[in-house]
Chain A
């Protein structure tokens, strides 16, 4: 007697050993992406937060999220773009909540403390121009800010930035143009 087996279209039957080797392969691929894109995720987060410990936390969270979604992100360009956007968004969220917390604490501690300027340590770490630049960056629209950060990261061309974000090269150039112009206006 012939046995009829119904298989869903587009679905391949896999045994446990095949599933395991597939999982090992995916794990290996993820390891490659991790080494390639880990620094990128960190730098994007650092560009927003400007604090290594916070940026490390955000990059770690973003990479773990990428691991959980790795099935649909196996294509390298897609992975990189997704990771950059998620790291940027998570960093912005953290930055905003830190700002809110800072504001609450400042209000709570009263006006005497608010009048205090930056510490000598803070002054030593960042020059006045750098502080103004960072402040000006915070005021840029998000889409300009992300392009500006990515374009400044060493080793990435504008073409790669365009691929990462899935936007045309012309859009990358125009966002970069307006971002730089706005920064210059604020710093002039």
Chain B
């Protein structure tokens, strides 16, 4: 029973990585051969765990990792800069289309005087405005 208590203390000391043992534990180890053997086995087990863990995590980083990240970032930046160049062009095209659709459909409505033409005037206008707004949002997210 007494040995069990000391063995728990030994495990706790090894698990917490303490360098020295409590005085009572050290005294018990000197007196009890069985606990001495148990301690040696546990020291070896924790050493094996530590070296095993180090082997797991200290693997060398492949030389291709950082160049790979850089290449992907460069590609993303390139795509982003092309997109930003196209935004003003898309804006001008959009305004021109808005004017054109407005003129054409107002002319059609004036000629025919139907509700359908009026519907298409509004649909065209609102659609273009929505497209313009989307371009504005997307270009904002690229900045």
Chain A residues with a Cβ under 8 A of chain B? 19, 30-31, 34-35, 38-39, 42-44, 46-47, 50, 52, 55-56, 59-60, 63-64, 67, 129-130, 133-134, 137, 148-149, 152-154, 173, 176-178, 180-181, 183-184, 187-188
- Which residue in B16, B50, B58 is a CB contact (below 8 Å) of A43? B58
A104 to B10, CA, bound (A): 43
Chain B residues with a Cβ under 8 A of chain A? 11-12, 14-17, 42, 45-46, 48-50, 52-59, 61-62, 64-66, 68-70, 72-73, 76, 143
Q: Closest Cβ of chain A: how far from B51's Cβ, in Å?
A: 10
- Asked if B59 and A63 sit within 8 Å, CB to CB, the answer is no
A-chain residues with CB within 8 Å of residue B59 when the two chains form the complex:
42-43, 46, 52, 55
- Asked if B16 and A38 sit within 8 Å, CB to CB, the answer is no
A49 to B51, CA, bound (A): 18
Query: A60 and B53 in contact (CB under 8 A), knowing A38-B61, A154-B58, A184-B46?
Result: no
Query: A173 and B16 in contact (CB under 8 A), knowing A130-B55, A133-B53, A148-B53?
Result: yes
A-chain residues with CB within 8 Å of residue B46 when the two chains form the complex:
180, 184
Residue of A nearest to B73 (CB): A67
In the A-B complex, list the 3 residue pairs whose CB atoms are closest, starting with the nearest: A152-B53, A181-B15, A133-B52
- Which residue in B16, B62, B68 is a CB contact (below 8 Å) of A177? B16
Q: Closest Cβ of chain A: how far from B139's Cβ, in Å?
A: 13
A18 to B117, CA, bound (A): 49
- Asked if A38 and B49 sit within 8 Å, CB to CB, the answer is no
Residue of A nearest to B52 (CB): A133
Q: Closest Cβ of chain A: how far from B65's Cβ, in Å?
A: 5
B-chain residues with CB within 8 Å of residue A184 when the two chains form the complex:
11, 14-15, 42, 45-46, 49
Residue of A nearest to B53 (CB): A152
- Asked if A152 and B65 sit within 8 Å, CB to CB, the answer is no
A42 to B50, CA, bound (A): 20
Residue of B nearest to A130 (CB): B52
- Asked if A63 and B69 sit within 8 Å, CB to CB, the answer is yes
Q: Closest Cβ of chain A: how far from B5's Cβ, in Å?
A: 16
A149 to B59, CA, bound (A): 12
B-chain residues with CB within 8 Å of residue A59 when the two chains form the complex:
61, 65
B-chain residues with CB within 8 Å of residue A35 when the two chains form the complex:
66
- Asked if B61 and A43 sit within 8 Å, CB to CB, the answer is yes
A130 to B53, CA, bound (A): 9
Residue of A nearest to B46 (CB): A184
